[in-house]
Structure 1
Amino acid sequence: MFEIQDVNELEERFRTDSRRGLPKEEARSRLKEYGENVLKKEKGQTVWGMILEQLNEPMIFILFMAAAISMLLREYSDTIIIFVVIAMNTAVGVIQEGKARKAMEALKKLAAPVALVKRDNEYQEIPASQVVPGDLVKIEAGRQVPADVRITSVRGLAINESALTGESMPVEKTDQPMSAQAPMADRKNMAYMTTEAMKGQGEGIVVATGMETELGKIAGLINKTTGELTPLQKRLGDLGKILSVVAVALCVGLFVIGVVQHRNILQMLLLAISLAVAAIPEGLPAVVTIVLALGVARMVKVNTIIRKLPAVETLGAVGVVCSDKTGTLTENKMKVVTVYCNGEIMPAEKLNPQLHERFLEGYLLCNDSQLGEQEIGDPTELALLHMGKERGVKKEVLEKQKPRIGELPFDSQKKYMVTVHRDGKYNTAYVKGAGDYILEQCTGILVRGKILPMTQVQRMKIRQAMESMARDALRVLALAMKERAGEVTDEGLMKGLVFIGLTGMMDPPREAVRNSVSILHRAGVKVAMITGDHKDTAYAIANKIGIADAREQCISGDELERMTDERLEEVIPRLRVFARVTPEHKVRIVRGFKKNGQIVAMTGDGVNDAPSLQAADIGIAMGKSGTDVAKNAADMILTDDNFSTIEKAMEEGRSIYVNIKKSILFLLSSNFGEIITMFAAVLLALPTPLKASHILWVNLITDSLPALALGVDKNNRKTLMNHPPRDPGESLFAHGGWFLTVFYGMVIAGITLYAFHKGGQTYAFTVLGVSQLFHAIGMRDTERSIFRMNHLENPFMIFAFFAGLGLQFMVTEIPYFVQAFQTVKLDMSTWLWLLAVSAIPLVFHELRLLFIKKEK
């Protein structure tokens, strides 16, 4: 809106003076009216509120019920364990809360601490928080812009807006009104809060402060964006509801049957409650939390920091990766990749200091930037200095040989700069700038060290070279010279130039990105590029790294703006490149993919990425180049800023989900075996095969170490990334999970009842516990024979098996435990027989695989 207004309209709208600034009294009055130029912070949730939110989960309610039942049964150790599990889960959840609050704090820190304003025709430095709409602000190199400003005068001003718009290059500013409203990245006469002036200076009228600025709008988006449950959290929530119904039904059902059969009512009540506890795998939340935490530790080794624990598993379900271009897919550093000199186009690597002496010399001398421990200057000029350095030519050496004696600074209208150097007896001028303008001023051309007259054929070849570079979305800079240069003026230097050559530069893709994109495609994961750059530039990069292969897969922010959400949802599966987009567009894109049923990961490093990082299922920020705002809004951080790290993290996420699913199926099938054992005995009017203490003890030795051992199992990493991501709505029991739960539950129940028939409660108690330890070994891989598994890959499972066996041995051999659990001592031959019976789940494991193989 402000970009199309001229200075007079702005003065009238804001009741200000573009030369003298606001009166000081008026500025004080406006500060009261508009408030301070700061970002408002949403009222934060209290710690107690966050704790209650974490406790409001079905599985947590079940654990509280299990704790109450355990207390009723005077099983105080179980009660303590359950409360520790609840406390651990709650603490982890509370620590991970408050991303939006932290992002807002980081946004506040970004604001410029001071501003240079003109009031009553006097410049004064004031806290940026005191700037008001209508203030006349001075912007100069090295200063942050204190608010949103419409520029009214400019002298070579260029501003780095990459963190806000995604534009990789500093933007040359103008003070002229635009003919029509434009996206934020195209408003050449606007400067935005927190962006930094790289060179030149200018003045402008403040048009927005605080939450009304573009940065404030981003802050508002962060506040509005709410996190969603991860797929695993949703599935565990569903499981919790099912188990709570099952637990209640078991209690009531078993108690009613016992009453009908005239059994001891108190004994049946305790047994029914014990069975309800058996139906609830109270160790499950702890196992899931520990498995995720161990996954976090492993991810540090692959340069990934996880800020939100469930994000580890969610990575495995990601179907779309929306990646920022600058700094993520690319190096965020301009590089000369193609040159034109001596009448031919060639890669920059082929430049030769002897054959192309004037070419390298001109680009390095006509240059105001510096290399060193800290690189200073314009990214384009720095790229030229690196081009020379890689060929063994240094600017400092050249400047000593041919010192600068005059210059014409960069002109944003004509887009060129000139430097004049003492070259022996005479002076030589080098001109660098826009190709079209410089070519028009050239009457000669340098070819292999000789100056020849410029012909129409040569002009045509140069234009073809410029068009070729432009098609590859390269930034083109021309170089010309004038020997025996005269007066240092436009008229004296810009006539009769000798054309030397062209450089084509770009922010190149990272080396490993193309391979990573290929691996993700093979894994069924779509990759989309979202950037503030122009459509042609974005497509050129996307095509190079394999993200897009047709221009029809690209869309601009303008096109997106005109599109309804319904239409976007319809076409978004076909789109791969989103160019010239705003922060609001990025959030729409993420939501569009999510409405298509995809789990979406979003990468970014700038302030403008924060809302979409938070809107995505997985927000991924860059550790080196990322702003604090982006990092605080994200779920995970790449410490090496490398897109390829995402692929490794996804593989880890898929492995973690596989392990969690194995643990859940193991726990539920084992508990199902206990339920069937007790129900079958009651229905058949048999004596009770297990006491309440027996069931709780078995749960203690099987719901802990063996389940955790499955959670840290190594999977076949070669196959993890060779199939599509799982459906986010997929049940934990998909792909035969229900069958495995019921099948192995029946096997465990069958051998437990058989042992009870042969030798009573001690036999049943021992087989129930030990059979579940054997069952855990088979659950490491339900598709592979135990004889083909590498058991040494999981030493923790070996430890869990023998530790569980030792604990079960205690309750039949140590007098104190024998008395407490009312068991009988067993001799060695009996133990061997019980071990053989207990190993039957592994026999059925092998038989099931043989049957599957035969069916195939």
Structure 2
Amino acid sequence: MNIFNQLFGLFLKSRHTSNLFRRRVILESLPKEEGRAGAVPDPLSRQLLQQARDDLSSVLAQLNTSKEGLTDDEADAIRANIGPNEVEHEKPIPGWLHLWLSYKNPFNLLLTVLAVVSYFTEDIKAAIVIGSMVVLSTLIRFVQERRSNQAAQALKELVSNKASVIRCALSDDDDAARPLESSPAGPKEIPIKQLVPGDIVLLSAGDMIPADCRVMSAKDLFVSQSAMTGESLPVEKFPDANGSAGSALEMANLVFMGTNVVSGAATVVVLATGNNTYFGALATRVTASTRETTAFQAGVNKVSWLLIRFALVMVPIVFMINGFTKGDWPEAFLFALSVAVGLTPEMLPMIVTSTLAKGAVLLSRKKVIVKRLDAIQNFGAMNVLCTDKTGTLTQDKIALARHTDVFGHESEEVLEFAYLNSFYQTGLKNLLDRAVLEHFEVAKELQLSKNYKKIDEIPFDFQRRRMSVVVSERDDHHELICKGALEEIVAACTRVRDGEQTVALDAAMLERVYRVTRDLNEEGLRVVAVAMKEIPPSQVAYSVADESDLTLIGYIAFLDPPKESTAPALKALAENGVTVKVLTGDNELVTAEVCRQVGLAVQGIVLGPQIDLMDDSTLAEAVERHTIFAKLSPLNKERIVRSLRGNGHVVGFMGDGINDAPALRAADIGISVDSAVDIAKEAADIILLERSLMVLEEGVIEGRKTFSNMLKYIRMTASSNFGNVFSVLIASVFLPFLPMLPLQLLVQNLLYDISQIAIPFDNVDATMVARPLKWNPDDIRRFMIFFGPISSIFDITTFLVMWYVFKANAAEHQMLFQSGWFVVGLLTQTLIVHMIRTPRIPFIESRAAGPLMAMTLLIMALGVFLPMGPLASYFKLQALPLHYFAWLAAILLSYAMLTTLMKRHYIRRFGWQ
């Protein structure tokens, strides 16, 4: 695909990639009180309340559905009538609006005002040149974005979120009554945008709520509604309505689009989709859906407004000086306006967006999908990467290595109990469950369908770190089977299985348990404890309170070997200035062993319970000294990330689980994988299609290249514009005529802007990407003041040469003077990008990429051609004497040499980023 078909694909992707990401961002932009019932239209609020209070059978009848769900044909018919499950804010914008948004920035608006003023003051040529600048900037952005829309939509599908839906299959008799003759076809994964009212959806921990739904059945279902209500704690949901609730959000049996499941499981029926949801009603009231301004955005704005404020001060001074000294006030006014145009970095939005979009396209080829373009800059600035162990350092192919009794002896009984637990749970099945379920022979041995029947389950959550299922064995008794983290399981046990006997779990036995599991951990095995108890068959409902007085029967131990690519990837990250810290909920001994195997230096271990006891200052010291943080809760991970950021680091966090979502949001750059749970992908800024640190290292380098190219333009624009003002100011004071006509100044600025279009395609020195690149607006200001006046030195030299050598010292010779400065000004401006694009010697130690070299040569050739060719009279220029070009070569060479010397001095004093 043509690069221009892709160039802004990722820019659009940052606006359209993840519907759920957009939903959360919109919700976060609302005042929390708008998340109340009064924030949505009364009919919608009343309808939701009514559907929450009606009998479930009545609601299903209203939706023309049943507990078996809709058929595919019925769902297609409903979708054709009401549209996809997308809120209006997320639909692709129409062409006219896109064109307006491409045009609408402060610089284009300023240029338009100047063009109008020029037209009404009968300076038609100036109006044409300024109008060309506006049209060029707008069309480049508009055309590239529109042509890339198709590519962006394809990328969007790579990180699409799906819902688990029950659809029913009709009998062969087409005329049969649907509720009687239909049968469930089983759950199927479909894109969220295909959901329709009446669909039956299965929810589990980590899922985003895909629409407004009524809870049909639930087990320990806790939902985070903080984005809509501002309440930080999850809310438990039940099938029954809360009759006293006065707001739809307070109804215990309603769940809403844009919220997420923290723990538990549920079956829900979709009540409303798209714009008809509670979220959709809120979204239509929001005019902006961007996140809080990032450091990068703030820095770019700071530089832009610095130049604009500088223009607001200097332009009136230039106007007054030329008006008084030349006596032609209209001409002085137009000249001052032209200076304002020259000071305006009108190409900045296009250059920044182009550079970021090109970087995102290149990252997509490396299997890195960028959801938010500004994240690329943070990618390059990242100097600390916090990552989980499983699947990142390790192969993510967990195998069940051992199943032992309490004393470490092989035990088939323990495997059988573990299999029952994994088989019957309906919540979030992780890699450990899948490894257990690969032992198909156990299912055959147990004869599950004949001997066992599921009664209930107690879903996993990250506070208990365990989960239980209750099964009936031959209708004789119930068995509660619990598996989870060792400490949490032991805390719920009072006895241990010893052969056919059970003995008390006293202090001596507890020490023996820990000794056996420690030995397994030191082998690099992850240990999960298994416990159970028998319960009379009279009990039918179970809760967390029943996880007590258990008998510990043994352990299942898993092996997740390190990836072969992990060690070289960690080495590469270290060489590029990125420190890796491991944040895991796993055992510290297993984590330490894996880190040693992959060559990650273990500089101390901190456990979650220890972090809970630390205040912020103590934690700030601990995160600097240690590399492994184990047995962490989601809150622990978030605190560590925030503490690292508070210490001045740019922190990346890589995670894929529901427990990682708070840390993903807290990090400067959240990184997840396409196989992650919905809430993790929604919270991330970047999605990896391949779960590898090596891919991440490549992404870091590409982020730094992108940042370096942006920095070139910003530095060049700031310093060049700053120097030009001094030159104009000095010339205005001493010359009896304008140093350059407004039209000439505008043409020079237009050609100069065109020469910068190739900057996003430039090469970047290896030394520039070896260390993290952090945005520093103060460095830009210092750079501008340091290098800006250098061009003024050679502008003044040009004035003197034209005045004394070529005798262009009277009004009748002003065309010669202006032609001479026009060429020098354009060539020095074009040359400066090569001087500051690298800390090395340009053209010798570091050469620009082909597109930038070609564009530079083209613009320089045009700059010489205009006064020497047939168009000279149109622009009020004249041919220059041949010996002028000897002076031109000397000025350009001296300019390059002095800039190089000053650059070395600058690097020694301030460094070069």
Taking structure 1 as the reference length, the TM-score comes to 0.62
Deviation at 1:763, TM superposition (A): 1.8
Does the CA-based 8 Å contact 1:673-1:744 persist in structure 2?
Answer: yes
Relative to structure 1, the CA distance from residue 368 to residue 690 in structure 2 (aligned partners, 3 Å threshold; closer, same or farther) is same
Task: Specify which of 745, 754, 763 is matched with residue 820 of structure 2.
Answer: 763
Is residue 306 of structure 2 the alignment partner of residue 242 of structure 1?
yes
Q: Describe the superposition over 1:659-697 as per-residue Cα deviations: whole angstroms up to 9, x where unpaired.
A: 222222223333334323321111124432211122122
For 2:131, give the aligned amino acid. T
| 1:713 paired residue number | 762
Q: For 1:621 and 1:281, locate their aligned partners in 2 and report how far apart those are by CA, in whole Å.
A: 36
| 2:853 paired residue number | 798
| 1:652 paired residue number | 702
Q: Describe the superposition over 1:215-237 as per-residue Cα deviations: whole angstroms up to 9, x where unpaired.
A: 268999x9999612233321111
Aligned pairs for 1:221-300 (under 5 A) are 227-300=291-364
Q: For 1:141 and 1:45, locate their aligned partners in 2 and report how far apart those are by CA, in whole Å.
A: 31
Does the CA-based 8 Å contact 1:601-1:616 persist in structure 2?
Answer: yes
Deviation at 1:700, TM superposition (A): 2.0
For 1:323, give the aligned amino acid. T
Does the CA-based 8 Å contact 2:112-2:131 persist in structure 1?
Answer: no
Relative to structure 1, the CA distance from residue 712 to residue 192 in structure 2 (aligned partners, 3 Å threshold; closer, same or farther) is farther
Say which is worse superposed, 259-268 or 543-552, in terms of deviation: 543-552
| 1:79 paired residue number | 131
Q: Describe the superposition over 1:737-794 as per-residue Cα deviations: whole angstroms up to 9, x where unpaired.
A: 531233344334533553454332222222222233333332232x322363243x52
Relative to structure 1, the CA distance from residue 516 to residue 795 in structure 2 (aligned partners, 3 Å threshold; closer, same or farther) is same
Does the CA-based 8 Å contact 2:840-2:846 persist in structure 1?
Answer: no
For 1:512, give the aligned amino acid. S
Is residue 838 of structure 2 the alignment partner of residue 788 of structure 1?
no
* Secondary structure of residue in 2 paired with 1:842: helix
Question: Which ranges of structure 2 fall in alignment gaps of 5 or more residues?
Answer: 1-51, 68-84, 169-177, 190-202, 210-217, 222-232, 240-250, 264-277, 423-428, 458-466, 474-482, 502-509, 531-553, 807-816
Task: Specify which of 690, 708, 716 is matched with residue 740 of structure 2.
Answer: 690
For 1:248, give the aligned amino acid. L
Q: For 1:26 and 1:359, locate their aligned partners in 2 and report how far apart those are by CA, in whole Å.
A: 47
Deviation at 1:605, TM superposition (A): 3.2
Is residue 518 of structure 2 the alignment partner of residue 467 of structure 1?
yes
Q: For 1:110 and 1:237, locate their aligned partners in 2 and report how far apart those are by CA, in whole Å.
A: 40
* Secondary structure of residue in 1 paired with 2:297: helix
Aligned pairs for 1:58-137 (under 5 A) are 59=107, 62-65=110-113, 68=116, 73-74=123-124, 75=126, 76-86=128-138, 110=163, 112-113=165-166
Taking structure 2 as the reference length, the TM-score comes to 0.59
| 1:664 paired residue number | 714
| 1:427 paired residue number | none
Is residue 496 of structure 2 the alignment partner of residue 441 of structure 1?
no
* Secondary structure of residue in 1 paired with 2:373: coil
Relative to structure 1, the CA distance from residue 633 to residue 416 in structure 2 (aligned partners, 3 Å threshold; closer, same or farther) is closer
For 1:712, give the aligned amino acid. F
Q: Describe the superposition over 1:817-840 as per-residue Cα deviations: whole angstroms up to 9, x where unpaired.
A: 111122222465543443333333
Question: Which ranges of structure 1 fall in alignment gaps of 5 or more residues?
Answer: 1-21, 116-124, 127-138, 145-158, 166-173, 178-186, 194-205, 346-357, 371-376, 389-394, 420-432, 444-458, 479-500
* Secondary structure of residue in 1 paired with 2:778: coil
Relative to structure 1, the CA distance from residue 854 to residue 287 in structure 2 (aligned partners, 3 Å threshold; closer, same or farther) is closer
For 1:768, give the aligned amino acid. G
Q: For 1:50 and 1:587, locate their aligned partners in 2 and report how far apart those are by CA, in whole Å.
A: 38
Q: For 1:406 and 1:210, locate their aligned partners in 2 and report how far apart those are by CA, in whole Å.
A: 34
Deviation at 1:701, TM superposition (A): 2.1
Relative to structure 1, the CA distance from residue 326 to residue 26 in structure 2 (aligned partners, 3 Å threshold; closer, same or farther) is same
For 1:653, give the aligned amino acid. G
Q: For 1:610 and 1:378, locate their aligned partners in 2 and report how far apart those are by CA, in whole Å.
A: 16
* Secondary structure of residue in 2 paired with 1:789: coil
Does the CA-based 8 Å contact 2:794-2:891 persist in structure 1?
Answer: no
* Secondary structure of residue in 2 paired with 1:469: helix
| 1:845 paired residue number | 899
Q: For 2:681 and 2:337, locate their aligned partners in 1 and report how far apart those are by CA, in whole Å.
A: 47
Alignment length, in residue pairs? 682
Deviation at 1:811, TM superposition (A): 0.9
Q: For 2:450 and 2:611, locate their aligned partners in 1 and report how far apart those are by CA, in whole Å.
A: 40
* Secondary structure of residue in 2 paired with 1:474: strand
Relative to structure 1, the CA distance from residue 109 to residue 747 in structure 2 (aligned partners, 3 Å threshold; closer, same or farther) is same
* Secondary structure of residue in 1 paired with 2:654: strand
- Pairwise CA RMSD of aligned residues? 6.2
For 2:499, give the aligned amino acid. Q
The percent of aligned pairs where both chains have the same amino acid is 20
Q: For 2:855 and 2:303, locate their aligned partners in 1 and report how far apart those are by CA, in whole Å.
A: 26
Q: For 1:329 and 1:279, locate their aligned partners in 2 and report how far apart those are by CA, in whole Å.
A: 50
Deviation at 1:807, TM superposition (A): 0.9
Relative to structure 1, the CA distance from residue 107 to residue 645 in structure 2 (aligned partners, 3 Å threshold; closer, same or farther) is closer
Q: For 2:828 and 2:769, locate their aligned partners in 1 and report how far apart those are by CA, in whole Å.
A: 30
Q: For 1:570 and 1:236, locate their aligned partners in 2 and report how far apart those are by CA, in whole Å.
A: 33
Does the CA-based 8 Å contact 1:529-1:547 persist in structure 2?
Answer: no
| 1:819 paired residue number | 873
For 1:823, give the aligned amino acid. L
Deviation at 1:24, TM superposition (A): 8.8
Relative to structure 1, the CA distance from residue 525 to residue 280 in structure 2 (aligned partners, 3 Å threshold; closer, same or farther) is same
Q: For 2:513 and 2:311, locate their aligned partners in 1 and report how far apart those are by CA, in whole Å.
A: 81
Aligned pairs for 1:578-657 (under 5 A) are 579-582=631-634, 593-606=644-657, 613=664, 616-625=667-676, 627=678, 630-657=680-707
Q: For 2:54 and 2:298, locate their aligned partners in 1 and report how far apart those are by CA, in whole Å.
A: 58
| 2:172 paired residue number | none
| 2:778 paired residue number | 731
Q: Describe the superposition over 1:262-305 as per-residue Cα deviations: whole angstroms up to 9, x where unpaired.
A: 52111111111111111113222222222222212221232212
Aligned pairs for 1:172-571 (under 5 A) are 208-211=253-256, 215=260, 227-324=291-388, 326-336=390-400, 379-380=431-432, 383=435, 440-441=498-499, 464-470=515-521, 472=524, 474-475=526-527, 504-521=557-574, 523-529=576-582, 533-534=585-586, 536=588, 540=592, 543-544=595-596, 546=600, 549-552=603-606, 554=608
Larger Rg: 1
Q: For 2:556 and 2:451, locate their aligned partners in 1 and report how far apart those are by CA, in whole Å.
A: 21
Q: Describe the superposition over 1:433-462 as per-residue Cα deviations: whole angstroms up to 9, x where unpaired.
A: 99999972189xxxxxxxxxxxxxxx9999
Relative to structure 1, the CA distance from residue 853 to residue 598 in structure 2 (aligned partners, 3 Å threshold; closer, same or farther) is closer
Q: Describe the superposition over 1:231-278 as per-residue Cα deviations: whole angstroms up to 9, x where unpaired.
A: 332111112211222222222101111233252111111111111111
* Secondary structure of residue in 2 paired with 1:715: coil
Relative to structure 1, the CA distance from residue 700 to residue 51 in structure 2 (aligned partners, 3 Å threshold; closer, same or farther) is closer
